[in-house]
A and B are shown apart, each in its own frame.
Chain A
């Protein structure tokens, strides 16, 4: 039965699309061989705290009945019954199978036979729900994106405060301030030696800044929120600021103490003056003062290299979304989504600056890109209102659809540096939020147990690791998962935010104690990184 459905689906794609897919040599998003490590990070922050459990179903049948509302909502579906849960790979679901690993599965609101269908009834919903197509990008059998993605479930953020939770997701430890560098900065610093030509290693397109804390200045975030802000920030194109000042000369790269370094730095006259002034101030006060002067010194040099690199021209030759729309008419670049029949609608482009993020990743200018994402029209997932879970459920599916399309574009984009690889192969995509939310039967308040998606790169996909403690009432915390502790010892315990962050870093081949340190101890999810 399943085979014939798939055959029907392939037939519905049409010969033209299949030919295009084969032309790119990427019929599905292929899993990576063991040992290949990503060199780029795309960190997507979904703003507000998520009802992950409305899209993913890491429950037993009894758990679904206990924690999730019955199917309802019509054109704005929410809630689900055990019989609505399917594996994304269409294999039979065994909801009650023991163990912490499950295939990607969730309540399916789309019509497998006709993903664009918005009129038919969702099977097993008792006629209470109509089809919604959003989120299908992850399950589309033409690409099998789920095979490249793992869901880490139930990590305790140690907080239910927004900013503190975001900090926990970025550095592993909740708090009003960072007590460890963000993963974005750690990865940027780690890749700097291998990829010295990436002039802006850690770029933030919005949201809380992925701080570098004590890491070298080159790992500190460069904040560029839009394409339009590149020119007056990272380039010397504007005469109003640069007329008569933009001339550069390669000067010997002097260290802070004035001794000779390696190579040269392309400096303007005022760059040279600033560096000389900094060197003259070193050694006259405390070590902490010298450290700050050293940061300014290194950052000036890095900024000079960035401007000299002519980032603007490089970006102008790169397109963000291009491959996916060309390969598959189901996924046009300009797409829109609606809640209900057309109760509320918005453009895919309003969900986040994905196009710019793709440009940056494709341009080889960056190592880490961080962006704030939502559903359309700046929706916030901080849905405390009475109908919060219902609205949230639908916006979350739209947001995931948007992210899925980004990943599909990446999977169709050949790597610029690794022959035979794609941009998705060389990039780890880390999707996170502030925290989870209380389960729908308990409203939609802040809840410290959250999830994260790791996709692309070296991730062993089609697995959801962990679950929820179904003996709890109300909103459960996470269930124990297999981890490799900081000591190297295997353990099974409830995960914490430190463990999610450590798993992100582990995916890059980075080692705790050598390449990073997370206060409070950490382990990485076992069996997630290939």
Chain B
């Protein structure tokens, strides 16, 4: 196994040529920054990270970013040849792209150095590139990275509308203020929610709190979307799933949960058939008999003792609160 890994590593990286300067400045293994690269990055950071610490050009957000987005990019750095490196040209005010100088402003990097605003001389940057070995990005995936992400607020609403057979009309009526149409919630007890960007109206009482509780963002509200597993997400999803499942269960002529030919009968055979169908409906998975039996015993049996409605609403909610529904 170790040999296979080593072969993969060698295949992905060019063999480093002999260093032309001291061994201590030699580029480290594929995709990793050398000590000299780290020193150069730190030296440049005070004049660069103000703009390049985050976002799509976050070259200075970490050593890894600097290594992979600058050092390993042949459009920016040509190992061994500072004059052919756009990175150096930018620092010297000779850039060939949209920007001719970095840092932007009236003074070149050399002037900033002369005035003491920065402490790393451009000569060090040039020398570093002279000593750089051939670079290659590490294309291997991160084995520890999460393979799942949770549903967004918009997806929660859209998926539940479809899966529960609910729609806009179940929650809102059309209204108008000053001739501008908007959605008027029928009742908060229906647990309506909408992104506040959906309302181009003078109204200020949009039912967007649940949307934000589920992590939804807003352009007009300058609020970023949040995909973390926050308590508000869990609390809101619990409440909404239970309320909307009941709405769907009680909605006349709603065949989303109980299609034509199926019933709400409470005998074990029918309930297990419903559970089997709902595994496919909510999770897109074909349930095993064990899965169905477990859901029947753990959710249906205790809740149906109160009422069939509680049993079915609880089952429906359990499918929505399930990790296979929340993550994809």
Contact = CB atoms under 8 A, between A and B. Distances in A.
Interface of A: 158-159, 162-164, 173-177, 179, 200, 208-209, 211-212, 217-218, 220-226, 229, 232-234, 238, 240-245, 247, 269-270, 272-274, 276-278, 281, 285-289, 291-293, 295-296, 299-300, 302-303, 306-307
Interface string B225-242: 010111111111011001
B225 to A, nearest CB: 10
A287 B299 contact: no
Given A222-B235, A233-B236, A244-B307, A177 B314 contact: no
Contacts, number: 168
Contacts of A281: 323-324
A241 B50 CA distance: 49
B91 to A, nearest CB: 21
Interface of B: 50, 53-55, 61, 142-148, 150, 188-191, 209, 212-213, 222-224, 226, 228-236, 238-239, 242-243, 246, 294-295, 298-299, 302-303, 306-307, 309-310, 313-314, 317-318, 321-324, 326-327
B209 A225 contact: yes
Contacts of B309: 243-244
Contacts of B327: 292-293, 296
Contacts of B233: 299
A208 B213 contact: no
Given A238-B243, A299-B233, 10 more contacts: A162-B222, A175-B54, A200-B231, A233-B213, A270-B318, A273-B299, A278-B323, A299-B234, A302-B231, A303-B231
Most chain B C-beta atoms within 10 Å of own C-beta, residue among A226, A299, A307:
A299
Determine which residue in A276, A285, A289, A307 has the highest number of CB atoms from chain B within 10 A of its CB, and name it: A289
Nearest to A222: B231
B247 to A, nearest CB: 8
A116 to B, nearest CB: 32
A242 B231 contact: no
A221 B228 CA distance: 10
Contacts of A243: 246, 309-310
26 contacts: A163-B224, A173-B53, A177-B54, A208-B223, A220-B228, A221-B231, A223-B232, A226-B209, A232-B239, A233-B235, A240-B191, A241-B243, A241-B246, A242-B242, A245-B303, A269-B299, A273-B321, A274-B318, A277-B323, A281-B324, A285-B148, A287-B144, A293-B327, A295-B228, A299-B229, A299-B234
B324 to A, nearest CB: 7
Contacts of B143: 286
A49 B198 CA distance: 28
A158 B61 CA distance: 14
Contacts of A285: 147-148
Contact of A220 (B146, B212, B230, B302): B230
Given A244-B313, A307-B235, A222 B230 contact: yes
A273 B213 contact: no
The binding surface of chain A is classed by DSSP as helix
Given A241-B243, A244-B313, A245-B314, A303 B235 contact: yes
Nearest to B308: A244
A223 B314 contact: no
B314 A269 contact: yes
B302 A221 contact: no
A222 B54 contact: no
Contacts of B188: 232
A274 B150 CA distance: 15
A218 B232 CA distance: 11
B62 to A, nearest CB: 9
Contacts of A270: 238, 242, 299, 314, 317-318, 321
Nearest to B294: A276
Contact of B231 (A247, A287, A299): A299
Given A209-B226, A244-B313, A288-B147, A238 B235 contact: no
Contacts of A220: 228-231
B282 to A, nearest CB: 12
Contact of A293 (B145, B190, B294, B323): B323
B146 A291 contact: yes
A226 B323 CA distance: 29
B321 A240 contact: no
Contacts of B190: 240
B88 to A, nearest CB: 26
A469 to B, nearest CB: 15
A238 B191 CA distance: 11
A289 B324 CA distance: 12
A291 B239 CA distance: 24
Nearest to A378: B204
B324 A306 contact: no
Contact of B189 (A164, A177, A211, A240): A240
B313 A273 contact: no
Contacts of B230: 209, 212, 220-223, 299
A223 B54 CA distance: 26
A303 B213 CA distance: 13
Contacts of A300: 234, 321
A528 B224 CA distance: 33
